[in-house]
Amino acid sequence: MIVLTLTEITEILGGELHSTPTTLSATDTVSGLVDTDSRQITPGDIFVAKPGEHTDGHNFVGIARAAGAVLALVEHTVEEDIAQIVVPDVVVAIADLARAVVARVRAEGNLRVIGITGSNGKTTTKNMLAAILSAQAETVAPRASFNNHVGAPLTILRTTFDTRFLIIEMGASHVGDIARLVSIAKPDIGIVLKVGLAHAGEFGGVERTVLAKSEMVTPLTENDVAILNADDYRVIGMAELTRAAVRTFAVDGDNATFRAADVRSTRTGTDFTLVDAAGAEHPVHLRILGEHHVYNALAALSAADALGIATADAIAALGTLERAERWRMEVLGGRDDVTIINDAYNASPDSMAAAIRTLAQITPRDRRTVAVLGVMTELGELAGDEYDRIALQLVRLNISQLVVVGAEARRLHITAINEGSWDGESVYCEEADAAFEYLSTAIRPGDTVLVKSSNSAGLRLLGDRLGEFFTC
């Protein structure tokens, strides 16, 4: 974070400073990182005592102080020897502090802010763009999937006057969430990847999802750039809602600013030809599996071009990225030529369908495909139809073996059996341990295995176990 005195922070937050002779005082400065997790605190940092559903951050102020925190943002004072600023709501406070910090850096530096949203692909696109931009200048990007009303401000607060690029991943569960994040960060470039059914149940339908995602581009000015997926009619329709200059990317469309041609997927990655606005062609190799990640790469390359970065340099930087993210199309295994694809960090109908297509595409015809699938959360009343659609896809793509894990996903198993004339090709397991016991003997040499579910199912850990079991 930029250097601020405790008085400045207190004024920004409209809070009340409490200090003692043995703690920092009003005129002292801080410039450490800001975090809600006491386990992440290092000397000089600021700890945010955020109340939670199961734990209260105020109970961890002492642990944070012992780890080196010099200031705590609290909603009531605690009996710990550390400077404390009391505010009515610490979550609102970190948003206010982030807004002030990014405004000061923008005013005195050369900061460019890029916001990314979409039902799928945000984290992968963030990582791709971070690989490109960090090769050019100091870049701040979220760790993991820090994309909500807490994570995004914490990312912004890592910005300093040396930061050239700030990437903000913006997720949402309700209409208005992205608008609040945009009001804090004020992006120069806003990227919308896709409008799908992820969180559709929570939003109240796909049209409400469209409204929420459009909040990325509606506040942009004529000096900003909106980067939109031209293959998604709901996304490209947002061009009419923004004053920003619009750039597009596509795989299917011919009129996009950046488009991909000759897409090819293998076990070692994904290749395509980038066709830019001038019609020039550039070969691209991603070490990340899956044709669906071509869209993420196009979005990242489009943003890099808008920032004035040479396409050749951007492509070279993309080629260094070994994986999308932990538990996202992560390739494990290797023993007996068994490939485990652990993609169980999250799952929506679109991302699950894309992962299954990838499984079919990258597996040689003489080898077996195994899909280990769990629950897709937050679909509401759409869940039944979407499980049926995925089951039909599994049958049509002739997936060799289906293993469904967990009661919430059992419909997938039942529908797959009803759709296909299978004899044991679909197996249902109540929990992950049972699935591991089955798969450890059922997987054959040469198999390609996909593990996919929403995070809550915990199948990412099953994927890790399988990867370790089949490690050379």
Binding residues for ATP: 118-124
Per the annotation, binding residues are 118-124
**CA atoms within 13 A of residue 127's CA, in its CB half-sphere:** 19
Whole-number Å distance between alpha carbons of 418 and 421: 8
CA 174 vs. chain centroid, Å, equals: 17
Question: Tokens 């939670």 sit at which residue?
Answer: 52
Whole-number Å distance between alpha carbons of 309 and 311: 6
Whole-number Å distance between alpha carbons of 200 and 434: 31
Which is it for strands 330-333 and 339-343: parallel, antiparallel or unpaired?
Answer: antiparallel
Q: What is the dihedral of CA 432, 470, 399, 323, to 10 degrees?
A: 90
DSSP 276-336: -TT--EEEEEESS--TTHHHHHHHHHHHHHHTT--HHHHHHHHTT---SBTTBSEEEE-GG
DSSP 14: T
Whole-number Å distance between alpha carbons of 1 and 98: 9
Whole-number Å distance between alpha carbons of 279 and 275: 6
In Å, how far are 27, 105, 346, 446 from 3, measured between CA atoms? 12, 11, 37, 56
Structure tokens at 130: 């971070």
Structure tokens at 108: 């005195």
Structure tokens at 180: 């609040």
Q: What φ, ψ does residue 111 adopt, rounded to 5°?
A: -80, 135
In Å, how far are 9, 71, 262, 463 from 83, measured between CA atoms? 12, 5, 59, 44
In Å, how far are 351, 370, 459 from 447, measured between CA atoms? 22, 7, 19
> CB–CB of 294/270 below 8 Å?
yes
> CB–CB of 64/36 below 8 Å?
no
